[in-house]
Amino acid sequence: MGTIGNGLVIFITGFRMKVHTVWILCLAVADFTFSFFLLFHVVYRGLGYHWPFGYVMCKLKDTITFFNLYVSIYLLAVISIDRCISVYCPVWAQNHRTPRLASRVVWGICILALVLCSPYLYFTETYYDANKNKTNCSSSYLKKDEDVSVYWVVVLTRFIFGFIIHFSIIVVCYRAIVVRLRKDQWTQSSRPFKIITTVIVALPCIPQ
């Protein structure tokens, strides 16, 4: 359903290249790829943790999954920053928010995501289990005599860069928007505040 839904979003937004559609389009592409590659995880587990897709796909499985995960969550953070700027600096946003600038930001996010997911490309390997006659695909953080601390570095990096940073950005941005809306009394409706609260509360529920 995620693949079909995001594919539909890509089809619709691909014809209208404005700033907000750039965010939505790139977010849909990331989520589409993430959902598609989940199929490999499903097959892998369905076959009793036997990997039939070869060495290269084993390397790409976790790498692409986490790449798209990082792209998605940082796009959500950028969308929050963009909305905050639009509220606090509407004139500047009107003059400087362009699809070209948005595209450059997206490329920056992709480079950052590629760096953050590089450990999975390096450590993920295929292993043949002769006893069970199965080929496993998993990340080994002890290859080439690395210390077990490498594992905790990867875990902490994922926790900090995959949750703490973008979650903090989103909370701060939406908090600032709420303060501005209340201060200027732009709206008498409580609906925007309910939506913002729902978004912030739902964020920790997103699988990291």
Task: Please report the pLDDT score of residue 207 as a whole number.
Answer: 45
**pLDDT grade, residue 49 (50/70/90)?**
confident
Q: How far apart are CA 113 and CA 206, in angstroms?
A: 17
Q: Which residues, 6 or more positions from 32, have their beta carbon under 8 angstroms from its beta carbon?
A: 2, 3, 6, 7, 10
Burial of 178 (0-12, 13-18, 19+ CB in 10 A): middle
| Token pair listed for 203 | 């964020």
CB 97 within 8 A of CB 86: yes
Q: Which residues, 6 or more positions from 163, have their beta carbon under 8 angstroms from its beta carbon?
A: 73, 204, 208
Alpha helices in the chain (DSSP H): 2-13, 19-46, 54-88, 90-96, 99-123, 149-159, 165-184, 191-202
Task: Please report the pLDDT score of residue 98 as a whole number.
Answer: 82
Is the domain 2-149 a CATH 2.40.50.140 member? no
pTM for the predicted model, two decimal places: 0.76
For the stretch 59-100, pLDDT in tens is: 888 888 889 889 988 988 988 888 888 888 888 777 878 888
CA atoms within 13 A on the CB side of 200: 18
Average pLDDT score over the chain: 79
Kindly list the domain boundaries of the chain, sorted by start residue.
Answer: 2-149
For the stretch 109-128, pLDDT in tens is: 999 999 998 888 888 888 88
